[in-house]
Structures are given as structure tokens and as C-alpha cells.
């Protein structure tokens, strides 16, 4: 019997494309609605900033531990740093 080397599992989340539709699709219902309203109401120069802010929210929401981390933060225990949370997603 030969032992196969164990390869570490890549826990990074795939990136969300930087498009209005992709960001809106990645957000949940109420956030998607707010994002669309903000991006449609934004002046041309402000659109990239609105997109970046909501893209970050959508990426962090995809991390499996995000909901647990928020609940722990509300209780003040078992906190996960933002750096640790971001390290688990692919922001390429």
C-alpha cells in the first residue's frame, strides 16, 4: 500500500467579476436592491467606488465563516480578524 501525499485544500473563494450584474447577483435580495439603487443614482465618477464597496461586501459574504464571525462579534467572543477573513478569499 502506498501513501499518497496529502495536498492542502485551497480554501480561497473564487472572485466575483467586477461588473454591476455580477456584483448584484452575488448579493442577497435586500443588498442587491440597495446596490442597484446606489449604482444607478451615482454620478459617473462615483460608480467605481460604489462598485468596489459592494464588491467587497459580496466577497466577504461568500466566506463560509462570515455569518458565524458576525454573530460572534455581536456577542463579543471568538472574533475572527478581518485579515484572517480576507485571507480566506481570493481577491485577485
Surface-to-core class of residue 77, CB atoms within 10 Å of its CB (0-12 exposed, 13-18 middle, 19+ buried): exposed
Residue 11 has pLDDT above 80, yes or no: no
Mean pLDDT (whole number) for 33-61: 95
Provide the 10 A C-beta neighbour count for residue 69: 19
Average of per-residue pLDDT values in the chain: 82
Q: Which residue has the higher pLDDT, 10 or 44?
A: 44
Q: Which residue has the higher pLDDT, 57 or 83?
A: 57
**What single DSSP character describes residue 39?**
H
Quote the pTM value. Answer: 0.65
What residues are paired with 89 via a beta bridge? 13
Q: Which helix (H) or strand (E) holds 12?
A: none
Residue 36 has pLDDT above 70, yes or no: yes
Nearest Cα residue to 54 out of 42, 36, 70, 69: 36
> Model confidence at 7, in pLDDT bands (50, 70, 90)?
low
Amino acid at each position: 500500500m502506498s501513501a499518497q501525499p496529502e495536498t492542502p485544500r485551497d480554501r480561497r473563494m473564487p472572485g466575483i467579476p467586477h461588473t454591476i450584474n455580477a456584483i448584484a447577483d452575488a448579493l442577497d435580495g435586500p443588498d442587491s436592491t440597495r446596490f442597484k439603487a446606489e449604482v444607478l443614482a451615482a454620478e459617473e465618477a462615483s460608480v467605481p467606488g460604489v462598485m468596489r464597496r459592494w464588491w467587497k461586501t459580496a466577497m466577504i459574504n461568500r466566506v463560509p465563516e462570515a455569518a458565524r464571525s458576525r454573530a460572534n462579534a455581536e456577542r463579543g467572543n471568538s472574533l475572527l480578524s478581518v485579515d484572517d477573513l480576507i485571507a480566506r478569499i481570493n481577491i485577485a
